[in-house]
Structure 1
């Protein structure tokens, strides 16, 4: 499968700061599978960018812009599929813990009650819980842009009954962790997503492999391309700044496949590749 993706960002840098971008395709692809171009300019002049790799394969691009208009253009073509992501014992431990936006410790009793029938029939089998939790979240929430705040966690989302992909993913991750299934947050490019934007999904560890759940059902899972992975959105934000004020003025994202979009059987286990 050939996939093309990228973004155009325009950011007003009010104060000099250290700025981190997570817009590049993860390092899961071999060099012959990925062609890409990242360009950053400040008031029309090139800006020096340095790359930092995280343990999960994500690529953080760090800049130190002075005040001005920062323009970021990223374009990539991915040919073929990456190797499926395998889980380690360290990841199993890390992704069972509560985190800032996926506060699993507040959901233990609730999750056990809501999924009692599944637990009684299948025990805590991750392969059975993953699709059922995603379906439950998809049925419980309404996708309504603008209804959630950047500081909302899974509990806020459940109470509000609405949110966007970030909120769907946090609630899915929190419920899975509360049920004893290691779960994590992934930022992705999502061909077919409507409205088109940076997309967020959840992943659960089944055996030693990570499989994806997208409670929004906005894009086929087999078309997704990983950008970043972490405990929740705090680890995978497409833009973060330290030490100064910025304002995001323009954010445009594109992601397409060569040919028709694949189908998606929600009962099947699918990995981000």
Structure 2
């Protein structure tokens, strides 16, 4: 499979600032790629910082002005498969800021009683979340976690993913959140899905069913959205002016929801 992805982000930076972007394809692939950052038309230096699970962060130090980041990558074929250490499996069983598995433990136990951890549980959780939430752009806040999402019964991709992650952890299945490029997604944007450790491998869970899982490209991986945001302002201030994301593939396969799929 041949995939092409790109992102263009424009920010107004107010005074000296340090910005960290997570927009590049993970180290599991060796893409042909370009990344440029301009401040009022002048190139800025970029530091690449390796993070967990192949995540590549890019840090930019900027003065005030209009900052524009452009990224493009061509990815051919599949990449390396991500594995898990014993520490990973402990980490991704713990509650986290946006995936409050401890608070949702009674709900998980009541809704999925009698289903053994494995493919059947993965399907049950994904279907349950997908049928109980309504996809509604703009309906949630950046601070909303899985509990608030279930109370509101609506959200966007990250809310669906957080809810799946929280329920799976509450059921004893290590789970985490992944930011991805998603060919076939409409409307196009960065996308968020869950991954669960099933039968000795990470399996994709996307309760939104908005893009074929086999086309997804990993960007950043972590406990929840706190670890995978496309932009983190670590010093100073910046406001988003515009963002355009594109992701295409030479083919969009049918997504058999009965099949276990790993990110490639």
Query: Into which bin does the TM-score normalised by the smaller protein fall?
Result: over 0.9
User: Match for residue 181 of structure 2?
Assistant: 189
Partner of 1:87: 84
- Identify the residue that residue 210 of structure 1 maps to in structure 2: 202
Match of 2:99 among 99, 102, 105: 102
* TM-fit CA distance, 1:207: 2.9
Q: 2:60 aligns with which of 37, 59, 63?
A: 63
**Please, which of 247, 250, 255 is the counterpart of residue 239 of structure 2?**
247
Cα distance in structure 1, aligned partners of 2:20 and 2:235: 12
SS at match of 1:211: strand
Give the superposition deviation at 1:191.
Answer: 0.1
CA distance in 2, matches of 1:14, 1:84: 40
In the alignment, the residues of structure 1 paired with residue 84 and residue 201 of structure 2 have an alpha-carbon distance, to the nearest angstrom, of 6
Kindly indicate whether the alpha-carbon contact (under 8 Å) linking 1:126 and 1:204 is maintained by their aligned counterparts in 2.
Answer: no
* Number of equivalenced pairs: 264
In the alignment, structure 1 residue 78 sits paired with structure 2 residue 75: yes
Helix, strand or coil at the partner of 1:256: strand
1:12-58 CA distance string (max 9 Å, x none)? 001211100000000001x4xx1000000000000100000012110
Contact 2:53 2:82 in 1 (8 A): no
Corresponding residue for 2:248?
256
The separation in 1 between residues aligned to 2:249 and 2:52, in whole angstroms, is 28
4+ residue segments displaced more than 4 Å: none
Q: 1:140-193: CA deviations, max 9, x gaps?
A: 000001110000000000000000001000000000000000000000000000
Q: Which residue of 1 aligns with 2:134?
A: 142
Segments of 5+ residues of structure 2 without an aligned counterpart are none
2:225 paired residue number:
233
In 1, Cα distance between equivalents of 2:106 and 2:15: 46
TM alignment of 1:118-197, pairs within 5 A: 120=114, 122-123=115-116, 125-197=117-189
Is the contact made by 2:52 and 2:221 (CA closer than 8 Å) also made in structure 1?
Answer: no
- Give the structure-1-normalised TM-score: 0.95
Give the Cα–Cα distance (whole angstroms) in 1 for the partners of residues 81 and 162 of structure 2. Answer: 22
Q: How far did 1:245 drift? A: 1.4
| CA displacement 1:176-223 (0-9 Å, x = unmatched) | 000000000000000000110000000000132101010000000000
Tell me the C-alpha RMSD between the 2 structures.
0.8
- Residue aligning to 2:11: 11
**TM-fit CA distance, 1:84:** 2.0
